[in-house]
Amino acid sequence: MCSVSWLLNEEGYQLFFNRDEQKSRAVALPPQSLSLNGVAVLMPIDPVANGSWISVNEFGLTLCLLNNYQGQSPCGPLISRGQLLKRLSSERDIPTLNVAFDSLDLTRFAPFTLLAFDPRLTQTDKAVMAFEWDGKHPRIFSECSPRFSSGVDLEKVQQAREQAYKACLEQGSNRQDLLALHQSHHPEQLHHSFCMHRSDAHTVSFTHVEVTSFGQSMSYVGGSPCQHLTEAALALQCVTLPSYDPSTDSLIKGLL
């Protein structure tokens, strides 16, 4: 169960991600910088399977994973979907990600939707791509903000959250508005909210990713956004990467 929205401008993009999990799920580790296939990658770590649900790399490619609870899981032993994201997180851009996705044996994974944000993504170039696996067939298509997943009452959850998103856009589409949205509650049904609360599950963290031509950063706030998400918390938990400069095929030295 998750909620993801994004904001595009002429400098790049921002991603806003609420992760919803069972209350029995182990607490994730905050973002850390890893070297995967020689590429610097930022991602929080799920200690259950040592994978992740969101990443950004030195090229500016961001991936985020949503479980597809309405799909049909293949038979046989399965690999954690968090490992799939980790495996693909070192790709350079959407074209190379396409090639890597085509080479996967998807029958080893439960259904999912992987959203991919190209390093060149801006308000002018708006093609956020979705790589979807329903347990039987893969599908690749462009996607618009927002996107949700839920194992309970998906249709009503989508309807309520989309209404909240549209109301947010009417107020204005900026960073502060979307941060407030990801903290918000449905007035009657808390399990329909962006900041979700159920007896068995709740929103366990919020992740913000920002990518521009100058570099990329990831901020992570553990706990329910309604209680813990503030600008101060985001600033305190912000991790940055050196930026890859394709014109010189080298890394800009030093952290931003």
pLDDT at 45 over 60: yes
Q: Are 229 and 183 in contact (CB under 8 A)?
A: yes
Angle, alpha carbons 88-124-113 (nearest 5°): 30
- How high is the pLDDT of residue 255? 42
- How high is the pLDDT of residue 247? 56
CATH class of 2-150+204-251: alpha beta
- Cα–Cα distance for residue pair 180/236, rounded to 1 Å: 18
Structural domain spans, the chain = 2-150+204-251
Q: What are phi and psi of 167, to 5 degrees?
A: -65, -35
- How high is the pLDDT of residue 149? 87
Give the pairing type, strands 62-67 and 54-57.
antiparallel
If pLDDT is split at 50, 70 and 90, which confidence band does 153 have?
confident
pLDDT tens profile 81-106: 999 999 999 999 999 999 999 999 99
pLDDT mean over 3-26: 94
pLDDT mean over 137-165: 90
- How high is the pLDDT of residue 245? 62
pLDDT tens profile 239-255: 999 767 655 454 443 44
Angle, alpha carbons 238-85-192 (nearest 5°): 75
- How high is the pLDDT of residue 251? 47
pLDDT tens profile 53-79: 999 999 999 999 999 988 899 998 999
pLDDT mean over 36-51: 95
Mean pLDDT score of the chain: 91
